[in-house]
Structure 1
Amino acid sequence: MEGLSSMQTLEALSSLLSTRDDDEEDPKIVQASAKLGPGNIGPPASSVKPIKEASSTYDKQNSKAIWDEDEVPEGAQFDDLTDPRPEYEIILKQSVGTEDLFLGMSRKDPSSMCCEGMLVRVKLPGTKASEVVLDVKETFLDLRTPTLKLGLHLPHPVHHQEGKALFITEREELEITLLLNRPMDCINLA
């Protein structure tokens, strides 16, 4: 055991584990290189030549702008007013009885997880019921008229075969009622 704690053994172990040789590197250089970071990559800042003033054509070619100001038509900020997408709203519905409302006997709460149906109201000004083309998929609603079109990703999957639509001529509005498709409802809401 005395051989393991001798000074010579510790010095030999230290020289074996040492990563630098005292003859090859100066300790000052090692300390300076330890302070290097990502900002020290590349030529030193003093050797970088200043960039000359560029011409205006060079600025236009290397600008990050998508188009020049003269390419944008006047009044382009109002283009979205002619968007053929109609106004719509999505309302989630749930069947609530007095036992739910006053006694809290079921596990229903006001969240969208407890809703059974979805009502989509679409305003179609100047449209007749015969002009409406409606296609409902499980997660997508496609509505088209001669002047308007709406492609709507639904927030929840629905039973696309069991929905119904009603066109209200007085309000020029289409109401689409869809049943939500929730495969785990029998477990979650039992």
Structure 2
Amino acid sequence: MEGLSSIESLQALSALLSTPNEDEEDDDFKTVGPVSKMGPGHIGATSGKDGSERREVSATYVKKNTKAIWDDDEVMEGAQFDDLIDPRPQPKYEIILKQSIGTEDLFLGLSGKDPSSMCCDSMLVRVKLPETKASDLMLDVREKFLDLRTPKFKLGLHLPHPVHSEEGRARFITEREELEITLPMNRPLDFINLH
């Protein structure tokens, strides 16, 4: 009796969940086998009139361009600058995170800043460019990517933090043959960070 009542419960649940068509009869319930062969896939209408399975695909899983390997938002910023054929070497560089602190931070600790990178507000990128003049530099800074090109060197650098690219400063130090790029960091929750 219990097995019979559970099949009836599943059939009642199936009738509630399926969208009834006026032309369809309740033939779907007659094709249900023993309880051990039933699973979650048996709830609802499983086949159309011609016996083929009906599948509805959500619009979120349908690709816009079937020949595309990935979507535009999956490609990292600056990937268009990667050139495998270009023989120019990458110059030596270093990234330094900087903080603006005052005497109240240094001696009294009033602002709550600590030496961690969460409290840093700018990024300094130093690039060694031997035998290069300032007029030879081509610099393009995006939110997450820095592209630097000279006749002898090429640097495509994915930045560790998003930056305000329009507010950055760059200066070339001729004595050291070094380019210093200072970029303020773009933190969406700056009011929460301990500044």
* TM > 0.5: yes
SS in 2 for 1:99: helix
- Report deviation, 1:178: 0.3
> In 1, distance between residues paired with 2:138 and 2:156?
12
2:170 aligned with 1:165, yes or no? yes
- Structure (1/2) with the larger helix percentage: 1
Counterpart AA for 1:130 = S
Q: Kindly indicate whether residue 126 of structure 2 is the aligned counterpart of residue 139 of structure 1.
A: no
Matched residues in 2 for 1:146 and 1:188: separation?
41
| In 1, Cα distance between equivalents of 2:193 and 2:154 | 37
Structure 2 equivalent of residue 184 of structure 1: 189
Counting aligned pairs with the same residue, the percent is 76
Query: Which residue of structure 1 aligns with residue 104 of structure 2?
Result: 99
Runs ≥4 residues deviating over 3 A: none
The reply to whether residue 112 of structure 1 matches residue 117 of structure 2 is yes
| In structure 2, C-alpha distance between the alignment counterparts of 1:144 and 1:112, rounded to whole Å | 29
One-letter amino acid matched to 1:171: R
Q: Which has the larger radius of gyration?
A: 1
> Match for 1:109: what amino acid?
D
SS at match of 2:167: strand
Q: Report the Cα distance in structure 2 between the residues aligned to 1:94 and 1:187, rounded to whole angstroms.
A: 16
Which deviations, in whole Å up to 9, do the C-alpha atoms of 1:89-135 show, x marking residues without a partner?
11110011111111111121000110011110000000010000000
- 2:113 aligns to what SS in structure 1? coil
SS at match of 1:161: helix
Relative to its length, the structure with more strand (as a share) is: 1
Aligned to 1:47: none
Offset of 1:83 from its aligned partner?
Answer: 6.4
Aligned equivalents of 2:147, 2:169: Cα separation in 1: 14
Given the superposition, is the C-alpha separation of residues 133 and 83 from structure 1 closer, same or farther in structure 2, using an over 3 Å criterion? closer
How many Å separate the matches in 2 of 1:88 and 1:115?
19
Alignment partners' CA distance in 1, 2:170 and 2:93: 14
When the two structures are superposed, what TM-score results if normalisation uses the length of structure 2? Answer: 0.54
- Give 3-state SS (helix, strand or coil) of 1:127's partner: coil
Please, what TM-score do these two structures have when normalized by structure 1? 0.55
Aligned length: 109
Counterpart-to-counterpart distance in 2, 1:88 and 1:150:
9
SS at match of 1:130: helix
Which residues of structure 2 form unaligned runs of 5+? 1-86
